[in-house]
Structure formats: structure tokens, C-alpha cells
Amino acid sequence: MSKKKRGASDGRAGRDQIKSSRAPSVRPPQAAVPASISDDTAWHAVRSPLRLQILEAIRAAPGIDARALSAALNTSAPRLYYHINILLQSGLIVGSERKDSDSRRETTRGPEALVYRARAANFPDGFFTKGEESLRRREAIVRELFEGGMSKAISSISEQDVHLTVRREHLSDAEAARVKSLLSQVESILSSARARRHAESKVLPATHFVGCAFCDLDGELPDGPLGSA
């Protein structure tokens, strides 16, 4: 290869890296599925609430394309491509060429070029719990999801329909066991709803937001609720 051709090739590669909003290539790199968020690539992939939404949508509707994802998540194509590329590089999803014989586009780029599937229906066992770094990162994800989800839930409905109370209380062992039992029931309901949604193989809009937090705390507790609306 001549120096001139090599220089042109290097320039194109540089532009592809800079223009990260461009649609993913037809043959994206097939990274191994990460085992834990202690892996920096995995952490980068799941630390964004939007990327978690994209991943969940792809799990719910295997073979979905970027056009359908964009409509379902109300996200522009350039922004979507940026996040999809990060998920592809992490190994959590894979992209493949559309098999539809009547596809309107034969180009290797664009909203209809690829369809996406998750590498697994769920995160691997221990994905969020392998080591102190994973636990710390999991805490950061949960905090952002909880705060962001709560904010969106409150802003989407009228104040008359909202009741939010956040409290920290000292519980006896029996009270803590009862709360954990109730949370298990909530988890069971959510798991059933998720299985029903996935069985339909399409992206459905959320109807309710459920946020639960239960953890051990040190230090003195304030008297009264931390906040309410």
C-alpha cells in the first residue's frame, strides 16, 4: 500500500472514531460477554440509564432495528447510534444484517442496515456483585436510576396523583424481615410482567414506575421524612 493510500485510510478511520453518532457497521466487533462491571468496558456500557433502556428493549424484542428503537425510546438516530456502538463494543449485544428480502435499503449503513439481539436474557450471575469495585459501581447505577426514574415519574403526572415519601427508620429484625418479604412480592410481580412483555417480542411503553430501596445504614437518623411531594 502506498503512503498516500495509507494516509487516506488512516484519515477515514480517524473520522469514523470522531463521528461516533454514525450508524454501526454491518460487521461490528464481537466482544466477549463481560462477567462483571468491574470490567471498565462493561461499566461504561451500563452506567448510562439510556443504554440500559436500549439493552432492555433489545432483550424484549430480539431482532429489533434502530428505527424501531428510536421510535420506542423517543431518541434521535445519531444519539441512538452512539449508545448502540458502546453496547456492541461491550459484548452485551450483537448486530447482524437484516434478513428481510423486501428490505428497502441494501446499504451497509442507516437505520435499516442492522438488527440487534442481546447476548443473554439477563446479566450473568455476579455481574453487579463481583468484588468491591462492582458493588461500588452498582450503588452508583442504582442511585442514578432511582433518582432519575423518580423524577420522570413525578413530572409525568399531576401533583394531585403523586404521593412520595422518603424515610430512613431504625427497624427491628422482624420489621426488616417483613419489608424484605413484601419487596420479594413486588419483585415477583415485576418479573411476571417482564416475562409477559418479552413474550410479545415488542417494545411496550412503561405504565408505572416502581422504586424500592432497602439497605443497612450507619449514623444517626433524622426525625421525620427526608422529603415528600
- For the chain, give the percent of residues with pLDDT over 90: 28
- β-pairing, 64-65 with 165-166? unpaired
- Is pLDDT at 59 greater than 80 in this prediction? yes
CB-based contact 66:81 (threshold 8 Å): yes
Task: Note the pTM of the prediction, 2 decimals.
Answer: 0.69
What angle is formed at CA 162 by the lines to CA 161 and CA 163, rounded to 5 degrees? 125
Nearest Cα to 207, choosing from 145, 151, 138, 157?
157
The SS3 assignment for 96 reads strand
pLDDT at res. 218: 65
pLDDT tens-digit readout, 89-143? 999 999 988 775 444 444 445 545 789 999 988 888 899 998 999 999 998 888 8
Instruction: With beta carbons less than 8 A apart as the criterion, state whether 121 and 56 touch.
Output: no
Query: What is the pLDDT at residue 42?
Result: 92
Tell me the pLDDT tens digit for each residue of 178-222: 988 998 999 899 889 888 888 888 888 777 777 766 767 666 655
Please report the beta strands in 30-137, taking only residues with DSSP state E, as ranges in sequence order. Answer: 64-65, 93-97, 114-118
- Burial class of 55 by CB neighbour count within 10 A (0 to 12, 13 to 18, 19+): buried
Contacts of 167 (CB under 8 A, 6+ apart): 224, 225, 226
Q: What is the mean pLDDT of the chain?
A: 76
Question: From CA 12, how far away is CA 20, in angstroms rounded?
Answer: 13
- Which of 4-13, 20-29, 111-120, 180-189 has the weakest average pLDDT? 4-13
The yes-or-no verdict on residue 229 having pLDDT over 60 is no
pLDDT value at 227 more than 80: no
Q: Does 226 score more than 70 pLDDT?
A: no
Q: Which pLDDT does position 38 carry in this prediction?
A: 92
pLDDT digits (tens, 9 = 90+) for 68-81: 898 888 888 888 99
Between 86 and 7, residue with greater pLDDT: 86
All domains in the chain, ordered by first residue? 3-118 (1.10.10.10), 132-228 (no CATH)
pLDDT for 86: 93
Q: Report the distance separating Cα 105 and Cα 99, nearest Å.
A: 11
Q: What is the pLDDT at residue 165? A: 66
